[in-house]
Chains A and B, each alone.
Chain A
């Protein structure tokens, strides 16, 4: 059952063709990797999917529904979230507050706008912070956290929102190597226990091999190859793309 259907999506910025005719399918419950050399258009594709900018061509379907013309908050409300490469958190609020505000009420109406935040959310927030290892830092201002810690906070915020699918933009970049195994473990648990489908941009090949069941490789804005991790690892085109051969 495909949860995300990207079909022939193209996006240019001025003269630069960032995405050319890209088609990707992610099935429900999968962990899919998105790899490719720097500047190949991976983050642009993420931005296209979550609605940060309109696409020039093609269609993007989430859970069977066309989302390419929807705005960012609408898509997020449908259950499709993303994390950012350069972390985005609420700097002046503390970690718990960052999570409390990430909670998604079922309906967004006058009631939920002006109601007090339910007390039980605090417990939920603390549990999730513990899950990502930030419990001790829960009262710190988010802006005071290190880059890696902010990445974990972003992950926690996403979990609080209970998405159906999560697009992760380089979740292990800038993270202390000793923590990477822990993160891989958490991501696998998120996928298995919470049932969240993951599409992950990654540069760290070891992480991709451990995490993903399926991998797409993008280079120069185009889809280069797809397959399971072993196939991709040995794919000559992928190797060439990374090593810069024509």
Chain B
């Protein structure tokens, strides 16, 4: 009899994550992530990006997978967070307009204190303003359903990029640079390490928040909205509150992520970096579908797999990246819409606590 290696693997994972072993499992992962920048020291920046991608996938899933609202617009919060954080980092100490005009860091230099103060305040606003935006436009935009919502958010994301490309203050089409790491403090190594750990902290915070969220009534309401929004309303649920709150939560994490990425990349360009609908915006959707919509770990698996694949093969596809990406999207969406987690769930329902006795499934209902 052939060994079902996949089953053995899934079995192994479920043993790792069982109640007794759970703490060890998570501690192990945290430990690994803490040591990773030292083990893979040449890949610190890529690791940071991987963490960010995981975050973007997980937050997309709140709307896309859990609630059934496929958004192409979360990139809006990413770009806003990025520009806002950088603008505050600079604007707190120097005139912003002059910075962007003159190519910034050559004329104005941040002291160590200024740098970290600016970063701290900048990230706070990157987390504060996007949810407010989500709250303001949510009532209008989340009132749309299905593909209208999808295309409207696509328009939003791109409009934001085009708009940012026209504003002189933040560098218009040329974009702007973020403040460089204070020279006195140390090498590029230290900089990458600092931002890696910031990204890690943000991701852990996101994971804990979303994990908690899905265990509350809120999570179940999101699923109800996905499965039958009209029914949820007919049962007395004020769906708009939940839709907007969910979007605000995503906006919060995505905004801060944007602020961090702006600093890691060092250069904010409106369409290629900040409101990068074509790459980051699409990746968000693709990774989550790949890993499995509507599950906690699906986006994580999808983002990790996607990132590793991309980093390994992107240079192989040099020049043909978007062709490869386009083909990948088509293949995943047509043949693999349930993703990895979905596929495993169908195959081994008992590992997910969803097994039902065939006897129960086939039983006739009787009412005596």
Contact = CB atoms under 8 A, between A and B. Distances in A.
Interface string A3-38: 000000000000000000000000000000000000
A134 B360 CA distance: 10
A72 B238 CA distance: 9
Interface stretch (B4-12, B28-36, B115-123, B228-236): B228-236
Contacts of B227: 89-93
A140 interface: yes
Interface stretch (B212-220, B261-269, B284-292, B299-307): B212-220
Interface string A104-136: 100010001111110000000000000011101
A57 B295 CA distance: 47
A137 B365 contact: yes
Contacts of A93: 220, 223-224, 227
Contact of B221 (A94, A101, A141): A101
Contacts of A134: 365
Contacts of A183: 367
A102 interface: yes
B228 A90 contact: yes
Contacts of B232: 90, 101
Contact of A104 (B213, B224, B236): B236
Given A113-B218, A139-B354, A140-B360, A90 B224 contact: yes
Interface stretch (B41-49, B164-172, B239-247, B314-322): B239-247
Interface string B350-368: 0000101000110101111
Contact of A88 (B234, B237, B245, B361): B234
A152 B365 contact: yes
A238 to B, nearest CB: 30
A191 B223 CA distance: 31
B191 interface: no
Contacts of A91: 227-228
B110 interface: no
Given A73-B236, A82-B234, A133 B218 contact: no
B131 to A, nearest CB: 15
A136 B235 CA distance: 24
Interface of B: 213, 215-218, 220-221, 223-224, 226-228, 230-239, 241-242, 245, 294, 354, 356, 360-361, 363, 365-368
- The 7 A-B residue pairs whose C-beta atoms are closest, nearest first, are A182-B367, A76-B236, A90-B227, A88-B231, A77-B236, A133-B367, A133-B365
13 contacts: A72-B233, A73-B233, A73-B239, A89-B228, A90-B232, A92-B226, A101-B237, A102-B235, A116-B217, A132-B367, A141-B354, A161-B236, A179-B366
